[in-house]
Amino acid sequence: MERYLATLDHEELYARRGPRSGLFTIVAVHSTVRGPSLGGCRMWTYEDNRAAIRDALRLSEGMTLKSAVAGLPLGGGKGVIVVPAGEGLDAKRRRHALLDFGETVERLGGTYVTAEDVGTSTADMTAIATQTQYVSGLSRRSGGSGDPSPFTAQGVLHAIEATVERTFGTPELKGRAVAVVGLGHVGLRVAKLLAKAGAELVVADIDRSKRAETDRLGAAWTTPAKAMTSAVDVLVPCALGGVLDHDVVPQLQAPAIAGAANNQLASADVADLLRERDILWAPDFVANAGGIVNISVEFEPGGYDPERAKAKTREIGDTLRAIFDAADASNTTPLAAATARAERNLAG
Ligand code: NAD
């Protein structure tokens, strides 16, 4: 299991079979030191229930780190609804699973607040909200912060600018060659923002249906493997985790990396390898915090305000600059500097 914080143990782990759906619902509360633990509800198929629990434990720890480094008044948690392998859920059982999960969240009495994640949507939060008050990310119409992806994408753009500035001396993106790998909810939005800023794009996705839209942006389409190692100024990983490993990093040509994908490093020591190769990597849990920053505004006294969310998302660039400064000053990697900043915020 990948661990960035070795000294903090989880506060709570709750696993419960949903009485309506018969499916396991799991909540891991890693830390409430800075506030209620917040993290999405993942609806996913695992090898077995142990793997699902491991995932909840790992992801909740990641959320503690993400919120702490951004200075948010939130802790780290994660929910999982385990979908049995080979059993597709029909609409009724799926809804029952969401209601069961909502009940599980309510039983924790507010130490965990759920949100959307892989396999769940803003609409699903409405179903969960019939069983618990501890839900965020409801639609804007219901007073919630809505889809987090636009804010994640905006935050990634600020992270790219900060990383480009540190690498090339100016944050200007006009004329910069940028490769975006993964064109989903976040990646496609990042590609559009980059195109608007005048960057020259190379893009890739395993789903070829994404090509039409990126053609309209004037982007050059290639395979994910080629995009990863193309001779660009910036690499922007926006698909899955584990893409930076000991095989790929020696082949990279981009001197700067900043993207949305969670857990980009296959192992923590890849951060050292990147540094040895003089490649500046924006820690993923700093660069992709826009979604959680957006949700955090729901917890402010005045309630959710999109303008406030935009302003707070902009701070991601400043946080990253401070992390790059700290890494330079202590002759260490951005990963080590970001982790130290999170630990300081947790202690203070
Ligand atoms: P998504 O499922 O909408 O998009 C992922 C895209 O990546 C899809 O288009 C998929 O076809 C593509 N893809 C999958 N495997 C690929 C591969 N090997 N090579 C190239 N493309 C591949 O997901 P998303 O919401 O856009 O999130 C993208 C990443 O950002 C994930 O790692 C997610 O955990 C992370 N993230 C998302 C948010 C958010 O607000 N949605 C917030 C923080 C982090």
- Residue 173 belongs to domain with CATH number: 3.40.50.720
Average pLDDT for the chain: 95
Chosen domain end from 119, 142, 165: 142
User: Is 295 contained in some domain?
Assistant: no
In a domain, residue 334? The reply is yes
Does one domain contain both 119 and 252? no
Q: Are 292 and 38 in contact (CB under 8 A)?
A: yes
Domain span at residue 46 reads 12-63+75-142
Number of domains present in the structure of the chain: 2
40 found inside a domain: yes
- The edge-to-edge listing of strands for the beta sheet with 112-116 is 12-17, 24-31, 75-82, 37-44, 112-116
- Give the distance (Å) from ligand 1 centre to CA of residue 84: 23
296-305 LR contacts (CB < 8 Å, sep 24+): 296/38, 296/67, 296/70, 296/72, 296/73, 296/74, 297/145, 298/136, 298/144, 298/145, 299/35, 299/36, 299/73, 299/74, 299/136, 303/143, 304/140, 304/143, 304/144, 304/145
Supply the residue whose CA is at minimum distance from atom 8 of ligand 1: 184
Q: How far is the CA of 271 from the centre of ligand 1 (A)?
A: 21
Please tell me the distance between residue 61's alpha carbon and the centre of ligand 1 in angstroms: 20
**Ligand 1 site-directed mutation target among 72, 136, 205, 208, most atoms within 8 Å of CB:** 205
343 and 219 fall within a common domain: yes
Q: Is 78 a catalytic residue?
A: yes
Instruction: Note whether 211 and 88 are same-domain residues.
Output: no
| C-beta of 149 in contact with ligand 1 (< 6 A) | yes
In angstroms, what is the span from residue 328 Cα to ligand 1's centroid? Answer: 30
User: Which amino acid is it at 330?
Assistant: S
Instruction: Compute the average pLDDT of residues 267-280.
Output: 97
* Mean pLDDT of the region 332-340: 98
pLDDT digits (tens, 9 = 90+) for 159-186: 999 999 999 999 999 999 999 999 999 9
pTM of the model: 0.93
Using the atom order of ligand 1, give the atom closest to the CA of residue 148.
40
On whether both 84 and 170 belong to a single domain, the answer is: no
Shared domain for 198 and 343, answered yes or no, is: yes
Is 102:131 a contact under the CB 8 Å cutoff? yes
Give residue 3's pLDDT.
41
| Residue where one domain finishes, among candidates 122, 142, 162 | 142
Q: Decide if 1 is inside a domain.
A: no
Nearest residue (CA) to ligand 1, atom 9: 184
From 113, 142, 171, give the residue that closes a domain. Answer: 142
Q: How far apart are CA 241 and CA 263, in angstroms?
A: 5
pLDDT digits (tens, 9 = 90+) for 52-65: 999 999 999 999 99
Q: Shortest CA distance to 167 belongs to which of 322, 321, 283?
A: 321
Which residue is catalytic, options 66, 78, 192, 312? 78
Q: What pLDDT is stored for residue 270 in this prediction? A: 98
pLDDT digits (tens, 9 = 90+) for 88-116: 899 999 999 999 999 999 999 999 999 99
- Indicate whether 252 and 231 sit together in one domain: yes
- The per-residue pLDDT for 326 is 98
Same domain, 82 and 106: yes
Over 70: is that where the pLDDT of 5 sits?
no
210/239 same-domain check: yes
Atom of ligand 1 nearest to the CA of 184: 4
Check residue 6 and give its pLDDT.
36
Return d(Cα 17, Cα 202) in angstroms, integer: 46
Give residue 240's pLDDT: 87
Query: For position 118, what pLDDT does the model report?
Result: 87
Q: Whose alpha carbon is nearest atom 34 of ligand 1?
A: 262
Do both 138 and 33 map to the same domain?
A: yes
**Residue 166 domain-assigned (yes or no):** yes
Claim to verify: residue 182 and residue 322 sit in the same structural domain: yes
Q: Looking at residue 310, what is its pLDDT?
A: 97
For ligand 1, say whether the CB of 181 is within 6 Å of any of its atoms.
Answer: yes
Residue 217 falls within a domain, yes or no? Answer: yes
pLDDT category at 9 given cuts 50, 70, 90 is confident
Residue identified by tokens 């040509």 is 253
- What are the tens digits of pLDDT across the range 121-135? 989 999 999 999 999
Pocket test for ligand 1, best of 117, 151, 288 (most atoms within 8 A of CB): 288
User: What is residue 162's predicted lDDT score, i.e. its pLDDT?
Assistant: 98
Judged against a pLDDT cut of 50, whether residue 45 lies above it is answered with yes
Q: Check if the beta carbon of residue 153 is closer than 8 Å to that of residue 260.
A: yes
186 lines ligand 1 (CB under 6 A): yes
Q: Does 26 share its domain with 50? A: yes
- Mean pLDDT for 32-49 is 95
Q: Give the tens place of pLDDT for each residue, 237-255.
A: 999 889 999 999 999 999 9
- pLDDT band for position 86 (50/70/90)? confident
Assign residue 46 the CATH number of its domain.
3.40.50.10860
What span, in angstroms and rounded, lies between the C-alpha atoms of 115 and 146?
Answer: 10
Which residues, in sequence order, are bridge partners of residue 24?
A: 17
Q: Mind listing the pLDDT tens digit for each residue in 274-290?
A: 999 999 999 999 999 99
Residue 163 domain-assigned (yes or no): yes
Cα 264 to Cα 277: distance, rounded to the nearest angstrom: 17
Q: Which residue's CA lies nearest to atom 12 of ligand 1?
A: 182
Has residue 69 been placed in a domain? Answer: no
Same domain, 212 and 183: yes
Say if ligand 1 is within 6 A of residue 206 CB.
yes
Quick one: average pLDDT of 215-222? 97
pLDDT at 172: 98
Model confidence pLDDT, tens digit, residues 219-231: 999 999 999 999 9
